[in-house]
Amino acid sequence: MTALARVLFFLILVAIIHTACRKEELGSGRELIGVWVDIAHPADTLIFTREGGQIVLFDNSMVYRSGTVTAGKQDAFRYYIRLGENRIATKPIVPLGSFDLDYREYPFYWLQEGKRFSVEPGSFRPYLSCVGCPQTFEKVQ
């Protein structure tokens, strides 16, 4: 093998390794696992868990206020989560319609990494019509 062929082989190998090791476009979200409280409404909590290799969000803000709680009703307030740089992608476990069949991205900002974040309410609370009024959550567990 000539020197030029070795250099080309090495460059191609480095490019393949770099591509394979590059971060996912949207991260795993494992830093969210735990219980988070809405600092403006302390009764509203978010619970992030890992289920089947995916991060799942349970939002209790409405489920316990709207009558009898059943497993199906709880699933209506659960979302698959992917976390990326300044964005969160959510996908309802139980789709509300055809527009909920895939992940939707929303602004997400760490105010204090791993301890406090800000997110647009529409990301998992579609019943809130407030755009540009992010909610802040703080980790309690």
- pLDDT above 90 as % of the chain: 30
Give start and end residues of each alpha helix (H) in the chain: 3-21, 60-63, 71-75
Q: Which residues pair with 5 in a beta bridge?
A: none
pLDDT for residue 59: 84
Pairing of strands 78-84, 41-51: unpaired
Q: Which two tokens stand for residue 24?
A: 């996912």
Average pLDDT over residues 123-139: 75
Residue with tokens 């089947």: 52
User: Which H helix or E strand runs over 43?
Assistant: strand 41-51
pLDDT for residue 133: 77
Which residue, 108, 61, 107, 101, is CA-closest to 80?
101
pTM for the model stands at: 0.70
Which residue, 125, 48, 44, is CA-closest to 82?
48
Q: What is the pLDDT of residues 6-41, one digit of tens each?
A: 655 555 645 555 444 444 445 678 899 999 999 988
> Is a pLDDT exceeding 50 seen at residue 108?
yes
> Is a pLDDT exceeding 70 seen at residue 44?
yes
> Is a pLDDT exceeding 70 seen at residue 101?
yes
Residue with tokens 């309410």: 121
Which residues have C-beta within 8 Å of that of residue 62, sequence separation ≥ 6? 77, 125, 127
φ, ψ dihedrals at 87, nearest 5°: -155, 155
Average pLDDT over residues 66-92: 76
**Domains of the chain from N-terminus onward:** 26-139 (2.40.128)
Alpha-carbon gap, residue 95 to 59, rounded angstroms: 15
Alpha-carbon gap, residue 65 to 11, rounded angstroms: 59
> Is a pLDDT exceeding 80 seen at residue 54?
yes
